[in-house]
Amino acid sequence: MLRRIRQHWKNYIGNSRMALIGCTILGIWIVLAVAVPLFGPWSYSEQNAEIRNQGASLLHWFGTDRFGRDLFTRVWYGAGISLAVGIFSTLINGIIGVLYGAVSGYAGGRTDMALMRIADIIYAIPSMLYVILITLVMGAGVGSMILGLCVAGWISMARIARGEIIKLKETEYAYAARMEGISPLRILLKHLLPNAAGTIVVNMIFLVPQAIFTEAFLSFLGVGIAAPAASLGTIIQEARSQMMLYPYQMIFPLIVLCVMLLALNMAGTAVEQRVGQHSGKGTGNR
Amino acid sequence: MLRYTWKRILTGILSLFVLVTVTFFLVRLIPGSPFRQGGVSEQVVETIEQEYGLNEPVLTQYFSYIGNVLRGDLGVSYQDPATRVTEIIARAWPVTASIGITALAVSVLLGTGLGILRAVTKRRFVRELISAGGMLAAGIPGFAAAILLLLVFSVKLKWLPASGLLSPAHYILPVTALSLYPAAMIARLVGNTLDSELQKDYVLFARAKGIGKWQIIFTHALKNAYLPVLNYIGPASASLLTGSFVIESIFTIPGLGREFVGSITNRDYTLILGLTVFMGAVVIIVNLLTDLLCAWLDPQTRRAYKKAGDSAK
């Protein structure tokens, strides 16, 4: 079992130090985000007026906030929410984007042009504005945050998938499949998309930190995720009013957030290099 | 080529139209009335809504809004009926633009410099340092960087002012915080392009002719890095503009971003609407201009459009 995992790791990730560090940190972060709120002795939302604004101690590892809530529990709970928002929105965006782009690229001609023009029009508007408006309309929360992220988030995936499919549909095996009379949908799903998977996965990995970043940014502005739920952005925002007095309340969640984003970017870059080497081309950001 | 230009402009106009429409209806959907604050009686609310035409059917409101926007009128602020939205924009936009343009210039210069250094250096240490620094700068959210800079340089060390925009020294922290991300992206673009360009035959040929290393980079190789960078200016301007929301509220700068955040908390419909339309329009126009510039500058694109006529982008 362990050998097989190692084999897979070698196949997909190679022996890159960056991937190892990134994935290890991510693993630790996920375990902590799940375990601390579930099994920790403190609740993320229970207030206790007697222990307000305490510094870090053996009892409260990151100290407590202005309502006497244990910051260690809150930070990891928030990290979990942030990760969940990032992963779910990426999955939705990935699925919508890949299907849209694949259909557009495979159909070609007028359909392709119309679909891509629509995407261009949506893409031209800064996505942050959509997310803000949608959280205003639907109320701050995880659901509206994910919805907001999905209004324009799929377009970059659609463009990438379209590019790959246009390249792949001219290959010999695609012609062969078409001549055998296999339905276009089947060719697309069974033959073309699996071959585009490398590029698609790389770009999807980079969507996760982007989504987490957007969520943190909006929660920090006060239009993202609001009480009783809390993401890292919310916690940082709450600490802002007493930033000068109790900077630790802001620094702990900031560090957890930054390390999380860095780890995701490291893992993404490592896989990108690997896939790029593998198929002999860089995928880049464009 | 001309056809491409027209088509691109048309897409831009359509985007603007979609932006105005979507924003208008979304803003109307926001729950809660901007006037129903602090125990105002129902009658007063109705009178005010009548005055602003809010009791008319939404479609009528929509068409009259479109008409007004076309005439360059974005309405009056609900919270402060004495000021027009256009006046607020005229007051706040220069502030935001001055920071944004400075940050853009800084990131282009810094990014290009670091990208070149990364590509030409023979020391592995320098190369890895720039790559790691770039990843760090691109990975840390702008607001986190801004807070850390503020805590270190103005609160602890007291070297730089923490708020306002009175002297050049006030620009240092917000501009640094804003330009970290675009600078990292540009450094990566330039570095990657140069890496692949310097392997090419024409560089070898130029070296064989005895042209110096720096001349090759600046007159030949770097030309190929212009286009990706120019292409990136559009997205960069969007990220600078949205970045200004938090940067301006952290450093208390009276710019567009702060007005926008304020309008959200105040539920000031017309201001939200007007600012969204304005900022969206700025990004759309910058994107349009850089795209057209790229197409005109890039011989490959030019040729492709001449030949194919209307092939999709």
The ranges assigned to domains in chain A are 2-40+63-281
- C-alpha A237/C-alpha A218 separation (Å) is 10
Q: What angle do CA A254, A256, A257 make, to 5 degrees?
A: 65
pLDDT at A91 over 90: yes
pLDDT tens digit string along B291-307? 888 888 877 766 666 65
Which segment of A150-164, A257-271, B181-195, B210-224 scores lowest on mean pLDDT? B210-224
Instruction: Using pLDDT thresholds of 50, 70 and 90, give the confidence band for residue A44.
Output: confident
pLDDT tens digit string along B229-249? 888 888 888 888 888 888 888
Q: What is the pLDDT of residue A93?
A: 93
Q: Which residues from A are below 8 Å from B144, CB to CB?
A: 236, 254, 257-258
In order, the DSSP letters of B235-266 are HHHHHHHHHHHHHHHHTT--SHHHHHHHHHHH
Any residues with CB less than 8 A from the CB of B135 and at least 6 apart, and which? A262, A265, A266, A269, B184
Contact (CB, 8 A) for B73 and B20: no
Asked if the Cβ–Cβ distance from B264 to A286 is below 8 Å, we say no
pTM of the model: 0.81
Q: Which residues from B are below 8 Å from A159, CB to CB?
A: none
Which one of B3, B6, B26, B190 makes the best mutation probe of the A interface by having the most chain A beta carbons within 10 Å? B26
- Sign of the torsion angle spanned by Cα atoms A160, A161, A163, A168: positive
Q: What is the pLDDT of residue A90?
A: 94
Q: Which residues from B are below 8 Å from A129, CB to CB?
A: 23, 242, 276, 279-280
Q: How big is the A-B interface in CB pairs under 8 Å?
A: 125
pLDDT at B313 over 50: no
| Domain assignment of residue B122, yes or no | yes
Nearest to A209 among B27, B139, B231 (CB): B139
Q: What is the pLDDT of residue A20?
A: 84
Instruction: Using pLDDT thresholds of 50, 70 and 90, give the confidence band for residue B106.
Output: very high
Contact (CB, 8 A) for B187 and B134: yes
pLDDT tens digit string along B233-290? 888 888 888 888 888 888 888 888 888 888 887 778 788 888 888 888 888 888 888 8
Number of structural domains (chain B) is 1
Is ipTM strictly over 0.95? Answer: no
The whole-number average pLDDT for the span A165-183 is 85
Provide CATH code, domain A2-40+63-281. 1.10.3720.10
The tokens describing B84, both together, are 């027009």
Q: Which residues from B are below 8 Å from A126, CB to CB?
A: 238, 241-242, 279-280, 283
Asked if the Cβ–Cβ distance from A265 to B284 is below 8 Å, we say no
Averaged pLDDT score across all residues of chain A: 81
Q: Which amino acid is at A1?
A: M
Q: What is the pLDDT of residue A61?
A: 72
Instruction: Using pLDDT thresholds of 50, 70 and 90, give the confidence band for residue B16.
Output: confident
Instruction: Using pLDDT thresholds of 50, 70 and 90, give the confidence band for residue A278.
Output: very low
Question: Of B55, B83, B44, B8, which is closest to residue B268 (Cα–Cα)?
Answer: B83
Asked if the Cβ–Cβ distance from A257 to B141 is below 8 Å, we say yes
Range of the domain at B168: 85-312
Domain CATH for B292: 1.10.3720.10
Which segment of A108-122, A260-274, B197-211, B292-306 scores lowest on mean pLDDT? B292-306
Is A132 touching B (CB cutoff 8 A)? yes
Alpha-carbon gap: B208 to the closest alpha carbon of chain A (Å): 28
Q: Which residues from A are below 8 Å from B265, CB to CB?
A: 222
Asked if the Cβ–Cβ distance from B135 to A262 is below 8 Å, we say yes
